[in-house]
Amino acid sequence: MLVQNKKIAIIGGGPGGLTLARLLQLKGCEVKVYERDADQNVRQQGATLDLHEESGLKALIAAGLLDEFKKHYRPDADKLRLTDHNAVVHFDDHANKVEAEPNGASFRPEIDRGPFRDLLIASLAKDTIVWNSKFVSLQAKDDGWDVLFENGETVYADLVVAADGANSKIRKYITPIAPVYSGLTIIEGNIYNAASNAPNLWKLARGGKIFALGQEKSIILSTKGDGSLSFYTGTRETEDWIKTSNINFDHKEDVWNWFKERFADWSDEWHELFASDESYFVPRPQYHFPADQQWESLPNLTMIGDAAHRMPPYAGEGVNMAMLDALEIAEQLTAQDYTGTRTAISKYEMSMLRRAAEITEVTLQSMKNMHSKEALKFLIDTFRLIR
């Protein structure tokens, strides 16, 4: 095995990095995950995750974690309601009496980020994760790397895998290819105790998701098992809008005032998103890498997930791509028929880049359609085909 007796460092403890660590440990590899969070109890933000049979679930099965996953996923959280900008429902999964087949294309089970991360962590050997390890830099040493962290620690690794997300600090050691602004900016928000703080929207979501489309804008709502409601607004803004808008996103009133103006042509039903102080807001300009990106593979460094192929979240592929990346690189590194790690990494990266190119194009087209004048019709037609 190529990586037998080699030290492997995974930078980033998200689903992709943790899945890779699990898969490598099953093969007897020596692996550590270096995560910038202070500990496991840091609150997991963001919407729920839906796993796809051909990617996320495939990796989960290979990791031997499907049974554990079934204990924690939320069976009705994938139910979707499509509304217009006035909160009028035009499509409702809850009215569909035919349940999704467990092995069918429409079976995409949802799980909250926190419980999912916890079950992945629990599957790893004790002390696999080194917390409070914020990456600073790499320095070449022998045939591997010295990895430097902000806390002053330095560790040596024969192989480093970047799993450090969309704003990866390691990607630059592999390629200078920069991301491209998509033209869309998301405001991510989360409302805690939503049944009390946003009761009408909580009821409208019915324990699942809402896609609200209209006037070339969008709001996506996701209920979570902890009783909170996460949401993403989607609007076309200039790339420098976050700086030029003079909005303090730590102040609810600033964001609220922006929303009332930007979504003035939407129903007041959505104002409930800002009714409570038990909330947070984060601006996220949406970038993607060029679909035709290529680079020369290295023998001791590669990347998975958003670090390799960041894209907007309009096809639900982010976590799934990261987990499939983890599965494919693990298979290549533990194969018996290669003479060196460069060959294994090259084969993985060629496959990953082909997949990423296809999904990037699909995602960008979906994003465009969802913010077009005929957005609602497009999405209704789409879901009627696959449901």
**In the 3-class helix/strand/coil scheme, how is 57-100 assigned residue by residue?**
HHHHHHCCCHHHHHCCCECCCCCEEEECCCCCEEEEHHHCCCCC
Per the annotation, binding residues for NADPH are 43
Per the annotation, binding residues for FAD are 50, 113, 306
Entry field: residues in the chain: 387
Per the annotation, binding residues are 43, 50, 113, 306
Distances, alpha carbon 112 to alpha carbons 73, 90, 117, 360, 366, in Å = 7, 26, 9, 24, 24
Q: Which is nearest to 39 in space by CA: 132, 149, 152?
A: 132
Strands annotated E in the chain: 7-11, 30-34, 49-50, 80-83, 89-92, 110-111, 129-130, 135-141, 144-149, 154-157, 159-162, 180-191, 209-214, 217-223, 229-236, 279-288, 301-303
C-alpha span between 315 and 313 (Å, rounded) = 6
Query: What pairs with residue 232 in β-bridges?
Result: 188, 220
